[in-house]
Structure 1
């Protein structure tokens, strides 16, 4: 079976200029294939979150080439990248970024409403289907601020899936959760990969979390030292 790439970075270099020029990413080349659950691991300050921001197209100030779904996207306009992000990338952060005055259902629908390719009724149906994956459908009409931390993170994962993204990118998704909820989130990620063939790229500093992914890319001092 042909292995298809979800995302690929070639010779990515990144510099900060405050106050002097500092190189924070050095010749980063990596590939995440479709259907893979990959972690990027390394100590704080090694450049893993900086790399994720570039791979997610949110930071375009870098040298090198970035491919999404086998298409070169380096140098594309911010409007194009914004649409591409919404369509092809789902985000799960350490902080859930839910809108408290919106219901759970409305929060999950937001990226779909932004993409504007389906009717509100269709999106409501899809959002409920995503919530069912996480056993959160009975909370659909609650306000986001009525949920526990673990429930909020599950809703944020459902939101990341609303547009059926090519890849879900996650930065320390369990950083704010206790062990029980961390295990729950990791279990959900594994289920998404195994049952729904979702591609996931997760930044973590947690050895235990990383060991449960298909492959771990290890970073040190702005470089990849192992592709797992």
Structure 2
């Protein structure tokens, strides 16, 4: 039986502004280890709202969320922050690299924050991730010296540094041209198929979504079967 990495059970979400508006309705699905899943749908369908809940950033919802078979409901914020750092790798549309630091230091930051390994070991692991993505030559460049495609690959290396259970992406190719979008897609596919890395990616890009293992299609706050 496949290991379930992430499970959403009957998740409902309301915005209270000023009246209650239901924005997610009975969201139920699971993602298995090594699965590469795309969440798609038109703007305003609720996919980014759902990602905020799945990433434990938003705790104001009904239902249950399990990550690595542990319920996230009623966990205090420091415990959720640790889950985010330890079990989830994030790749956003904008890379959020720190320009004043080298590529290597940017990749190391979540590992230093987790404090599971000494600094030397975190550095070794960061170099491994850069090697894995074919960008080890960039290690000592400052982040602001990179192209957009290179920055996004560095952001993926950073997301991998703590060996997360799942990588969550919010429009990770939204800012890239076709060639760099292709490079990012190929990296994700290789992570899933060679390294059994689980990926859940919110995307508008239908071509990107069509080549993942599975599409979760959303409309009006619901999952279409």
| TM-score normalised by the chain length of structure 2 | 0.99
CA positional deviation for 1:206? 1.2
1: CA distance, partners of 2:178 / 2:17: 37
2: CA distance, partners of 1:148 / 1:133: 19
2: CA distance, partners of 1:134 / 1:207: 24
- In the TM superposition, what whole-angstrom CA distance separates every residue of 1:185-222 from its partner, at most 9, and x where no partner exists? 00000010111110000001111010010000000000
2: CA distance, partners of 1:140 / 1:210: 31
Provide runs of 4+ in structure 1 moved above 3 Å.
none
1:46 matched to which residue of 2?
45
**Count of aligned positions:** 225
CA positional deviation for 1:115? 0.3
Unaligned ranges ≥5, structure 2? none
2: CA distance, partners of 1:50 / 1:146: 33
SS at match of 2:156: helix
- In the TM superposition, what whole-angstrom CA distance separates every residue of 1:9-57 from its partner, at most 9, and x where no partner exists? 1010001112221110001001011110000000000000100110010
SS at match of 1:142: coil
1:144 matched to which residue of 2?
143
2: CA distance, partners of 1:184 / 1:61: 36
1:83 matched to which residue of 2?
82
SS at match of 2:194: helix
2:198 matched to which residue of 1?
199
Query: Which sits farther off after the overlay, 16-25 or 174-183?
Result: 16-25
2: CA distance, partners of 1:61 / 1:114: 26
Unaligned ranges ≥5, structure 1? none
Root-mean-square deviation (Å) = 0.6
